[in-house]
Amino acid sequence: MLQDIVPAGRIGTAGGFVHLLANLAGILSPSITGFLIQYGGGYHTAFVLASILALSGMLLLALLVRQKGVNQLRSQTSH
């Protein structure tokens, strides 16, 4: 999907940023999950947080990525 919405000249930068976010999540999530399990009342709290984050990500993707914006980015790179 990233290649569909980012201009070809910026795909490396966008890919690097996406990988940064993914790696930060991979580093922080075990600590946050462990903290929630120990101090938040068990596994239930950790699963609720994971569900909320997944749903909010889907909602943001559905609301913020518009076909009009994708077409504008593509037209900028073709000039």
pLDDT tens for 12-61 read: 999 999 999 999 999 999 999 999 999 988 899 999 999 999 999 999 88
How far apart are alpha carbons 15 and 27 in whole angstroms? 18
**Chain centre to alpha carbon of residue 64:** 12
User: pLDDT band for position 10 (50/70/90)?
Assistant: confident
User: pLDDT band for position 69 (50/70/90)?
Assistant: low
